Amino acid sequence: MATTSTNGLGRSIYSYSDLQGFAKQIQDRTSHKPTIGIICGSGLGSLADKVEDSIVIPYSDIQHFPVSTVKGHHSQFVIGILKGKTVICMKGRFHLYEGYPAWKLAAPVRVMSLLGVQTLVVTNAAGAMNKSYKVGDIMLMKDHLYLPGMAGNNPLVGPNMEKFGERFISTTRLYDSSLRKMARVIAKEMGYSHLIQEGVYAMVCGPSYETPAELKLLSVSSDVIGMSTCPEAIVAKHCGMTVFGLSLVTNKCVTDYDETEVDGPNHGEVLETGKLREDIIQELVAEIVAKID
């Protein structure tokens, strides 16, 4: 594969034809034409298990496509029907801490766009900085604080791909308010209103979890913290997609140095909480997908 563009720092990035090649390899494997994309976060891969008449395409089967290396991420696309809508699920995403640059993390979103996806549902596991949040709560994302992006690691750095969108995009209303409102109504109908929060997601690079000092700083403007989502959401916006995001609170963040009985978060805890809430997350996302126009 020839990558013909650079990101301004002399590093090769996927060209538009590269992305078209990825999309064609997927199209050649299925007759489905997805209009909704779903990115499954840590411990939330079971979301894809509800997809019917599905075809599974491992990322490793797509020539030159990146693969996920994190436990709890299965590194495959699942394409099929969910509640009457044709969807493509990423059962496994990529992260900055795996060594991937931001533009590569979000490349699958561009591929989804080329396949016809118009709405992106992005999920993640996150730690709660907001003291009122409980483990197992589900936070609807109304905004984000993208720390790596503010430091120059934005997925849109480099030559602009005009076929997707303009050079400069507004992210003031990145996460769709009407879908958040719909999610609240659906959660109430399902009897899960007590689990629903709405707030701001902060993204750091990882893979180390945050220090108490870092958490105290970020908690001024954010409610939960994680290591993903923002690059995909930004590129989805650049592609003209509607974006809906939700975070599963998998742990309470430790901000007090004297909390000696608490060791802090660990990945096993993240996966365990994902398993605990997997049925509810599946139901909620499936019903949201069913009502997306």
| Residues acting as catalytic residues | 42, 73, 95, 97-98, 125, 227-228, 251, 267
Instruction: Give per-residue burial for 216-235: e unless 16+ CB within 10 Å, then b.
Output: eebbeebbbbbbbbbbbbbb
The alpha-helical segments, DSSP class H, found in the chain are 16-27, 102-105, 107-115, 147-150, 177-190, 212-218, 230-238, 267-291
- For residue 2, what pLDDT is reported? 44
Q: Residue 264: its pLDDT value, please?
A: 65
pLDDT at residue 10, rounded to an integer: 46
Q: Hunting for tokens 């507004």 — which residue is that?
A: 170
pLDDT at 150 (0 to 100): 95
Phi–psi pair at 248, nearest 5 degrees: -95, 120
Whose tokens are 């995009």? That residue is 169
> Which domains does the chain possess?
5-291 (3.40.50.1580)
Q: pLDDT tens digit string along 121-139? A: 999 999 999 999 999 999 9
pLDDT at residue 9, as a whole number: 46
pLDDT for res 277: 81
Residues 186/284, Cβ–Cβ less than 8 Å: yes
Q: Which of 53, 98, 52 is nearest to 75 (CA)?
A: 98
First to last CA, the chain: 37
**pLDDT means over runs of 10, the chain (293 residues):** 49 88 97 97 79 96 89 83 97 92 96 98 95 95 97 95 96 97 97 97 95 95 97 98 96 79 62 75 93 91
Strand 36-40, strand 12-13: pairing = unpaired
